[in-house]
Amino acid sequence: RKEVEQDPGPFNVPEGATVAFNCTYSNSASQSFFWYRQDCRKEPKLLMSVYSSGNEDGRFTAQLNRASQYISLLIRDSKLSDSATYLCVVNFPMDSSYKLIFGSGTRLLVRP
């Protein structure tokens, strides 16, 4: 089982659509969760951290279900500029440290 698993897509949606991405992680000791977005040939940029109670930032809503080890990202009213790859990122404990593990990404294409 992959440490962080995402549907690779691509998700091809019209402008204005609502789209949801899912992610599962394998280490129940993980404590921090993030969604990053990465445009083609650019660096990953933080979209939002994911908190246990769920959180919203404008058109974006992230949810965490620790019992199921599942994270989601909902994008409402999709814009052309939302086209990118969305990376689910989870921290994995390592001895006295930790490291971030990236999912393979879900590609979103928003069409006019």
Partner 1 sequence: DTEVTQTPKHLVMGMTNKKSLKCEQHMGHRAMYWYKQKAKKPPELMFVYSYEKLSINESVPSRFSPECPNSSLLNLHLHALQPEDSALYLCASSPSGVRTDTQYFGPGTRLTVL
Decide if residue 94 touches partner 1 (CB under 8 A).
yes
Q: Out of 55, 61, 69, 104, which residue is the one contacting partner 1 (CB under 8 A)?
A: 104
* Pairing mode, strands 106-111 and 11-14: parallel
- Segment interacting with partner 1 (CB under 8 A) among 17-25, 31-39, 52-60, 76-84: 31-39
50 is an interface residue for partner 1 by CB under 8 A: no
- Out of 42, 66, 79, 111, the residue judged to bind partner 1 by CB under 8 A: 42
Under rule CB under 8 A, how many of the chain's residues touch partner 1? 22
* Residue 87 touches partner 1, criterion: CB under 8 A: yes
Host H or E run for residue 74: strand 70-75
Among 11, 49, 50, 72, binds partner 1 (CB under 8 A): 49
Contact status, residue 21 vs residue 110, Cβ threshold 8 Å? no
- Amino acid identity, position 13: V
Q: For residues 7 and 13, give the distance between their C-alpha atoms in angstroms, rounded to a whole number.
A: 15
Choose which of 20, 45, 54, 65 interacts with partner 1 (CB under 8 A): 45
CB of residue 14 to partner 1, shortest distance in Å: 25
The three-point CA angle 73-78-81 to 5° equals 100
Tokens 């246990």, residue located:
52
